[in-house]
Structure 1
Amino acid sequence: MTAERDEILQAVSSAVLAVTRHLSVREVLQVIVRSAQRLLDARYAALGVPDDDGSFAEFVAEGITDRQWEAIGPIPRQHGMLGAMLREGAPVRLSDLRADPRFEYWPKAHPVMKDFLGVPITDGGEVLGIIFLANKRTGDGFTGADQDLLQVFAAHAAIALANARLYERGRELAMLEERHRVARELHDAVTQKLFALRLSAQAAGALIESAPGRAAAELERVQRLAGEALGELRAVIVELRPAELDRHGLAETLRKHVRMLDRLQPARVAFEADALPPLTSAVEVAVFRVAQEALHNALRHAEARRVAVRLSYAGGTLVLAVEDDGTGFEPSLSRGLGLVSMKERAESVGGRMAVSSAPGEGTTVRVEVGV
């Protein structure tokens, strides 16, 4: 058993160290939970990382099938024993979870749990989450030694979550710096040309009756400046183009993005695509950004459990559809959720966007672009 324990702990350590390569904290947390379940011989194991809305940003579990999850319903809220552990930040070891006054209830299809062991995941005194086991298969429940070992797994989870936070902060800083750089370039190049273009257009308007020749010269200058400004804007757009689009194209880049979200989010996110013709850089960027925004809305705001993304092509028209089963909304009453920017992105490449939604009935974002 000692050899097996060392092997499992080595696997967990390797998974934690590989988090920056995987870029999937959920995968690492799944390894930790699965390993804890196996080593401590528990029927059920889970790990939850709370969000700011009373639910969990991450919740991974072992011992429950997909069919059982569907019957249970949404991921748990921060109530009962889970909420108490997050508030108290102390280990809990019980012979019967149901006898503890902090226990409240389970959904109807939830499996019955008796003996229980949970420990907080902490970083510098801050509770990042909880890891817990239930229904030990052998013996008379969880022991003090089991608790000590589970705290080792919690420490590994804390490292993984701390690394993820550092990575996310670094990514945000990089994005902020890139925005500032683009803003400077727009100001230094494009803005100056647009200002000069405006002055030339005003001069042409003032001279068109009194000095038609000079007005014509100013109009030629307007045309030249407009072309230069357009070129500058295209250069900035190319720089903003995700590098993956250059390497893999729209379909594969979106496929990888969806696969990552499916691993990181509790919702099921699926993708399918037809064979696509060669697409211009502008079309690829516009469609990809609309897809990103629609996915963000579905996963962060609509509380969707399932999201389907599809790229199709027929008759010279590229179609993006992002459909979710979330809370829905009334499109005619909303100008938020990035709808305006998505519509503008679609129209910038000659496309059109339509949103179908209603409260309680999910949302479908559909973009059509002639290519």
Structure 2
Amino acid sequence: MSHPYQSSPDEPPAAAIPLEALLRTFMSRADELLMAEERTRGLLEAVVTVAGELSLETVLKRVVDSACHLLHARYGALGVIGEDSTLSHFVTVGIDQELAERIGPLPTGHGVLGLLITGPAPLRLHDLRQHPKSYGFPAHHPPMKTFLGVPIRVRDAVFGNLYLTEKEGGEDFTPEDEDLAVALAAAAGVAIENARLYEDAQRRASWLEACMDATGYLLEDSREDHTEHAAFRVVAEAAARPTDGLVALALTPADRNGTYTVAAAVGKGAGDLKGRKLTVGPTGMKDIALTGRSTAVDDPWNLLGPGVPSNPAKLLAVDLSAQGTHYGLLVSVRDSDSEPFRQTDVEMSAVFGSHVALALALDRIRRYREESVVSTDRDRIARDLHDLVIQRLFAAGLSIQSLRRYTTAPEAPDRIDAITDQLDSSIRDLRNTIYSLRAAAAGRQLVSSRIVETVQSASASLPFAPHLTLIGALDVVEDEIVIEHLLAVISEALSNAVRHSDAQTINVTVGMTADALTVEVRDDGRGFRHPGSGNGLANMAKRAADLNGSCAVTSTPGDGTSLTWSVPLR
């Protein structure tokens, strides 16, 4: 039976047409709602994933991972914008390590990537290769067509950009994709800010811990080594921890013209830098010593010169001044692959420097006080030796000389002269002892003792002991750099004599005048016409040159060798 309103059997009912359209519309809207719900759920999951981490590097990686998963992109990247408006850091997803190495250096913000740097706004492209700003791809780079980029803002500043390419199925990124990417970028900005605040707090804590370690050591009464050399070494070691640099240097002023001596070095190439003279450049670095501010410098080559560790690119310099006294500079160097020093490093290093400088001032005052006490005892002992012992020995020598008139034995004059010479030698040794009595911090080994130990150690394999003569107040020398060079030269010279000369006697003389320190090593070995090609003589000459001194070697075949090494005293 046909419907009363149906005109023919083949024609559908009139009411059926709007109902089917309504159902199709309803189903389409339901699919859209489901997709929107799925997108919202995906966005929430991405936000939770990104927000659940405090490490900045991990946060950046999770942002890219979440964006690729949420928007079905094959490749993703996040570029961090540096101070020079280029990409200073680049995190990628979809390209493995092997392929990344074949591609080469990471992008720095040219071409299409740079559009979001100069104009921080969302950008969708059907084919980024056809864009007028396209910079092309390097060799081995995978092909990429569809593109979506959005800026990531942290507070009011653009932190970086999120880049997505190659949506699954070859489709273009849609406006809805752009909205999701913008929302994710907003959440990422909050997570990045939290991670940066956390890392800044950790970095501040690291600087404070280093400051406590350094100042605690400097103010400790019971430490073994009270020299300023040891103090600067500990300061450099403490500063190396929070800066994560290639090398940390403690510089002490060598003159008033901007020349510094590397008093201590920690890290890569530290051995080559220790003792080197560095001239502070006319800009930036010189202002540190004048203003007391810490400064981050992007090009340390001007300060350090050749021979520094490979790829130095970033330098942090800290002034060490307290109570009107400039103790030096603290320098940390990073390579070109490391991140720049942050403002937190500049701020906290200044705090570190001011506290360490104050501790150095207190340590110096304490050493002066201890030296004053020792100086009193030195003066008393020296006075007693001079007024009593030396005078008695001198009187004994005169008395022995007067015995000549009472003896006629032929061997008596020679015997009297020998005894007199021994008394004169004893008097000279006593005078050297008087001059070497000095103000020294408790527990510090005297320079003369270190010289004796060095001679004994270097000549241990000899069947005889070298004759050692010490002249002048050697123990008043306080410059640890000079002392270390001195001991190294003595050791090297004796080692050469032991290995090559076949000597029967070796004389070592170390003398000090008002303005110079001199070492002379003589042997009666076989000598030579031309020095060998070894590094020993070259090393001793370089040590002298580093201290503005001189090194001379004279030798005659069959008549022994003589080395004279001399450096000025500041």
CA separation of 1:174 and 1:211: change in aligned 2, threshold 3 A: farther
Matches within 5 A, 1:279-294: none
Partner of 1:206: 379
Residue number among 190, 193, 200 corresponding to 2:366 in the alignment: 193
1:90 and 2:121 matched? yes
Partner of 2:134: 103
What is the percent sequence identity of the aligned residues? 35
Secondary structure of the 1:122 match is strand
1:43 and 2:74 matched? yes
Secondary structure of the 2:153 match is strand
Query: Could you say what the CA RMSD is over the residues aligned between the two structures, in angstroms?
Result: 3.2
- d(CA) in 1 for partners of 2:82, 2:126: 29
- For the 8 Å contact 1:16–1:159, the answer to whether it is kept is no
CA separation of 1:67 and 1:149: change in aligned 2, threshold 3 A: same
Partner of 1:66: 97
Deviations 1:207-254 (A, max 9, x none): 3321469x99xx89966x448xxxxxxxxxxxxxxxxxxxxxxxxxxx
- CA drift of 1:6 comes to 4.5
Which stretch has the larger CA shift, 50-59 or 151-160? 50-59
Q: What amino acid sits opposite 2:64 in the alignment?
A: V
Which stretch has the larger CA shift, 202-211 or 108-117? 202-211
Q: What amino acid sits opposite 1:80 in the alignment?
A: G
Normalising by structure 1, what TM-score?
Answer: 0.51
Partner of 2:349: none
- d(CA) in 1 for partners of 2:369, 2:188: 57
- CA drift of 1:149 comes to 0.3
1:16 and 2:47 matched? no
CA separation of 1:40 and 1:17: change in aligned 2, threshold 3 A: closer
- d(CA) in 2 for partners of 1:105, 1:54: 20
- d(CA) in 2 for partners of 1:210, 1:26: 70
- For the 8 Å contact 2:375–2:439, the answer to whether it is kept is no
Partner of 2:428: none
- CA drift of 1:150 comes to 0.4
- CA drift of 1:7 comes to 4.7
Secondary structure of the 2:108 match is coil
Secondary structure of the 1:26 match is helix
Partner of 2:157: 126
- CA drift of 1:191 comes to 3.9
- d(CA) in 2 for partners of 1:53, 1:125: 18
- d(CA) in 2 for partners of 1:192, 1:201: 14
Q: What amino acid sits opposite 1:128 in the alignment?
A: F
- For the 8 Å contact 1:54–1:77, the answer to whether it is kept is no
Deviations 1:25-78 (A, max 9, x none): 222222221121122111211111123466544322222222221211121112
- d(CA) in 2 for partners of 1:180, 1:26: 27
- CA drift of 1:18 comes to 2.6
Residue number among 173, 177, 180 corresponding to 1:149 in the alignment: 180
Matches within 5 A, 1:315-330: none
Residue number among 112, 135, 140 corresponding to 2:166 in the alignment: 135
CA separation of 1:8 and 1:140: change in aligned 2, threshold 3 A: closer
4+ runs deviating over 4 angstroms: 1-4, 175-181, 219-223
- CA drift of 1:200 comes to 3.0
- d(CA) in 2 for partners of 1:107, 1:131: 20
Residue number among 192, 196, 212 corresponding to 1:161 in the alignment: 192
- For the 8 Å contact 1:45–1:63, the answer to whether it is kept is yes
- For the 8 Å contact 2:42–2:70, the answer to whether it is kept is yes
Q: What amino acid sits opposite 1:153 in the alignment?
A: L
- CA drift of 1:154 comes to 1.0
CA separation of 1:147 and 1:205: change in aligned 2, threshold 3 A: same
- CA drift of 1:203 comes to 3.1
Gaps of 5+ in 2: 1-34, 216-354, 387-432, 445-570
- CA drift of 1:85 comes to 0.8
CA separation of 1:120 and 1:188: change in aligned 2, threshold 3 A: same
- For the 8 Å contact 1:200–1:222, the answer to whether it is kept is no
Q: What amino acid sits opposite 1:137 in the alignment?
A: E
CA separation of 1:220 and 1:98: change in aligned 2, threshold 3 A: closer
Partner of 2:58: 27
Q: Which has the higher helix share?
A: 1
- For the 8 Å contact 1:12–1:156, the answer to whether it is kept is no
Q: What amino acid sits opposite 1:16 in the alignment?
A: V
- d(CA) in 2 for partners of 1:88, 1:125: 15
Partner of 2:291: none
Q: What amino acid sits opposite 2:89 in the alignment?
A: E
Q: What amino acid sits opposite 2:46 in the alignment?
A: V
Q: Larger radius of gyration, structure 1 or 2?
A: 2
Q: What amino acid sits opposite 2:126 in the alignment?
A: S
Instruction: Give aligned pairs, total.
Output: 220
- For the 8 Å contact 2:121–2:151, the answer to whether it is kept is yes
- CA drift of 1:187 comes to 5.0
- CA drift of 1:195 comes to 2.2
- d(CA) in 2 for partners of 1:53, 1:208: 67
Partner of 1:271: none
- d(CA) in 2 for partners of 1:191, 1:15: 54
